[in-house]
């Protein structure tokens, strides 16, 4: 049956090899494969014995990682679920013009949409807005790419659209550390 993507099927392994040898970073590959973290990718890469990529022989590991006690979370489910996005929002096919004007639709209140550069799946990273733009079946497909809210898949603007019910979201002050 369908593989949720959490297992290393032959196809996935091959894609992993391809992308890795292709020079993509572990996080990029993880994003491409889906349902896996970059750690999983790196771990697999090493297990497959293709670490080092193109580069070879490097300063011998003098003092690598120390055996710190790894107290893992009791049972962390899925860190990030592959957002199905808002099924209601139907993207305009955009028949012509590759990536010209931006769909500055919903200008609800005062927020002016400072459209950032759109990005392809390859450049899409966890910290970037995953709001789809265009036709997913076309190579011109892009994602918003703006800085996403930490913990959410969208930028502030698209998050407001995606999470309508949220009447008033106070700016989240995330304290790193004092």
Partner DNA sequence: CCCTGATTCGC
Partner DNA sequence: GCGAATCAGG
Interface residues with DNA (CB under 7 A)?
6-8, 24-28, 36-40, 42-47, 51-52, 61, 63-73, 76, 79, 125-127, 150, 176-177
Q: Report in angstroms how near the CB of residue 64 gets to DNA at its nearest.
A: 3
- Does residue 47 contact residue 13 with C-beta atoms inside 8 Å? no
Q: Report in angstroms how near the CB of residue 47 gets to DNA at its nearest.
A: 5
Q: Report in angstroms how near the CB of residue 127 gets to DNA at its nearest.
A: 4
- Alpha carbons 78 and 27: distance in angstroms, whole number: 16
Phi and psi angles of residue 46, each rounded to the nearest 5 degrees, phi first: -70, -40
- Does residue 178 contact residue 158 with C-beta atoms inside 8 Å? no
In this complex, which beta carbon is closest to DNA, that of residue 9 or of residue 164?
A: 9
In this complex, which beta carbon is closest to DNA, that of residue 51 or of residue 83?
A: 51
Q: Report in angstroms how near the CB of residue 89 gets to DNA at its nearest.
A: 25
Q: Report in angstroms how near the CB of residue 91 gets to DNA at its nearest.
A: 25
Dihedral angle, C-alpha 144, 148, 152, 157, nearest 10 °: -70
In this complex, which beta carbon is closest to DNA, that of residue 61 or of residue 112?
A: 61
In this complex, which beta carbon is closest to DNA, that of residue 43 or of residue 136?
A: 43
In this complex, which beta carbon is closest to DNA, that of residue 17 or of residue 38?
A: 38
- For 20, the token pair is 């890795």
Query: For the chain, percent helix, then strand, then coil, each to nearest 5?
Result: 20, 5, 75
């Amino acid at each position: 049956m369908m593989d949720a993507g959490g297992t290393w099927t032959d196809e996935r392994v091959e894609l992993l090899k391809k992308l890795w040898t292709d020079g993509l970073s572990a996080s990029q590959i993880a994003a491409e494969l889906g349902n896996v973290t970059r750690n999983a990718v790196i771990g697999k890469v090493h297990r497959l014995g293709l670490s080092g990529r193109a580069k070879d022989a490097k300063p011998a590991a003098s003092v690598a990682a120390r055996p710190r006690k790894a107290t893992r979370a009791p049972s962390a489910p899925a860190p990030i679920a592959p957002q199905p996005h808002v099924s209601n929002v139907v993207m305009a096919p955009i028949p012509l013009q590759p990536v010209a004007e931006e769909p500055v639709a919903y200008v609800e209140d005062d927020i002016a949409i400072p459209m950032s550069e759109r990005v392809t799946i390859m450049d899409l990273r966890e910290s970037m807005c995953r709001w789809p733009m265009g036709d997913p079946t076309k190579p011109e497909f892009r994602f918003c790419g703006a800085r996403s809210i930490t913990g959410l898949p969208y930028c502030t603007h698209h998050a407001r659209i995606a999470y309508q019910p949220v009447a008033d979201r106070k700016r989240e002050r995330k304290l790193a550390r004092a």
